[in-house]
């Protein structure tokens, strides 16, 4: 009988993202972006602490090599590491950066609610509120470190989204004023305006968020609450917004969008992950897993959910929109239009 049977490694999988996040935060991957180095050489570049444990880093990188994050080679009996294509996603400077996602998803505040998932299943309570006594958004406003992690994740996601949107979505050409709801520091609007400089951009987010907005010609930063009202524009973007909220909250957001659009020709551009349904099937097993994993994260940490096309269509119709169009799906991100 084998000591371990296939499937049992699932209980150890939680160590992989934690190990990855450790080397991300250390900057170890940055050091091997253009070099092949030993653990000793990497440590010498990231710290001058004589007590640094080279073996710890070497053993961590060996594990990550088995998951394709780094490439391992042996040179004259010494292990050396270089950055793989997967590892590049966790190094700064790439349009498909996942560094912020790693930092946020492995933050202690984000991990603790999973300890309350079983309890939440039994009594229906929100795991995040059970863990912290408040919502994630309330905690973001109060905890500077968590806020920085959250903003880093959103900034990286904007890089990923802008690459997909600018390549796959041609609907920006006819837009005059674009309101990005929950736009963070405004990076996405700045990227859009590099391709479509005629657009006036309004970056709308909570006051403490837009106070750190990027100063850029043609982009106005507006602080407020999307559950109260939304600035007017002929188009409104909701990128990774609706999945943070339950159906009742999403309906309120969409109703406010509807009110802020012109009577004729207004649209909401929704960018989200789609779960499989009759209307849309995941292109691969990987895309399916990503969607379901994100759904679990949203459930535990935000009391939100990923949705099917039909669920978004139903929300749009309840809010008053006449037509929902699935424009494109690329790299797992779906682009939908809700037309007034």
Catalytic residue positions, numbered: 243
In the sheet where 37-38 sits, what is the strand order?
A: 37-38, 78-83, 70-75
Output the CA torsion 118→123→125→130 (10° steps).
Answer: -60
Closest CA to 293 of 305, 277, 310, 280: 305
| Eight-state DSSP code of residue 242 | G
Distance from C-alpha of 321 to C-alpha of 340, rounded to nearest angstrom: 5
Residue with tokens 């920085």, as numbered in its chain? 148
Contact between residue 238 and residue 268 where contact means Cβ atoms under 8 Å apart: yes
Distance from C-alpha of 216 to C-alpha of 182, rounded to nearest angstrom: 17
* 247-252-257 Cα angle (round to 5): 120
Quick count: other Cβ atoms within 10 Å of Cβ 281? 10
Distance from C-alpha of 43 to C-alpha of 210, rounded to nearest angstrom: 37
β-strand pairing of 267-272 with 235-239 = parallel
SS3 of residue 309 by DSSP: helix
Contact between residue 73 and residue 36 where contact means Cβ atoms under 8 Å apart: yes
| Residue-wise DSSP of 10-34 | GGGTTHHHHHHHHHHHHTHHHHTSS
| Eight-state DSSP code of residue 274 | B
Contact between residue 258 and residue 340 where contact means Cβ atoms under 8 Å apart: yes
């Amino acid at each position: 009988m084998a000591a371990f049977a296939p499937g049992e490694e699932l209980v150890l999988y939680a160590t992989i993202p934690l190990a990855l996040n450790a080397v991300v935060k250390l900057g170890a991957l940055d050091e091997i972006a253009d070099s092949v180095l030993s653990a000793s050489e990497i440590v010498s570049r990231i710290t001058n602490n004589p007590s640094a444990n080279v073996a710890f880093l070497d053993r961590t990188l060996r594990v990550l090599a088995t998951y394709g994050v780094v490439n391992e080679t042996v040179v004259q009996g010494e292990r050396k590491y270089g950055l793989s294509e997967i590892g590049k996603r966790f190094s700064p400077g790439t349009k498909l950066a996942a560094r912020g996602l790693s930092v946020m998803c492995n933050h202690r505040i984000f991990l603790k609610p999973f300890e309350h998932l079983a309890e939440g299943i039994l009594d229906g309570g929100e795991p995040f509120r059970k863990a912290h006594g408040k919502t994630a958004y309330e905690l973001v406003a109060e905890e500077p470190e968590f806020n920085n992690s959250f903003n880093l994740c959103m900034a990286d996601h904007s890089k990923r989204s802008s690459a997909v949107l600018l390549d796959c979505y041609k609907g920006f050409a006819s837009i005059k004023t674009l309101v990005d709801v929950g736009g963070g520091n405004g990076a996405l609007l700045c990227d859009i305006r590099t391709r479509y400089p005629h657009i006036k951009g309004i970056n709308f987010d909570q006051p403490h968020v837009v106070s750190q907005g990027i100063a850029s010609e043609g982009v106005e930063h507006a602080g407020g609450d999307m559950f109260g009202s939304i600035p007017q524009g002929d188009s409104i973007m909701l990128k990774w917004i609706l999945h943070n909220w339950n159906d009742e909250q999403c309906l309120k957001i969409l109703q406010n969008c509807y009110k802020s659009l012109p009577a004729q020709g207004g649209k909401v551009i929704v960018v989200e992950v789609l779960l499989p349904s009759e209307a849309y099937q995941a292109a691969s097993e990987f895309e399916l897993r990503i969607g379901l994993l994100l759904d679990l994260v949203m459930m535990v940490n935000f009391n939100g959910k990923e949705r099917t096309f039909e669920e978004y269509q139903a929300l749009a119709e309840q809010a008053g929109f006449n037509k929902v169009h699935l424009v494109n799906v690329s790299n797992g991100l779906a682009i939908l239009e809700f037309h007034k």
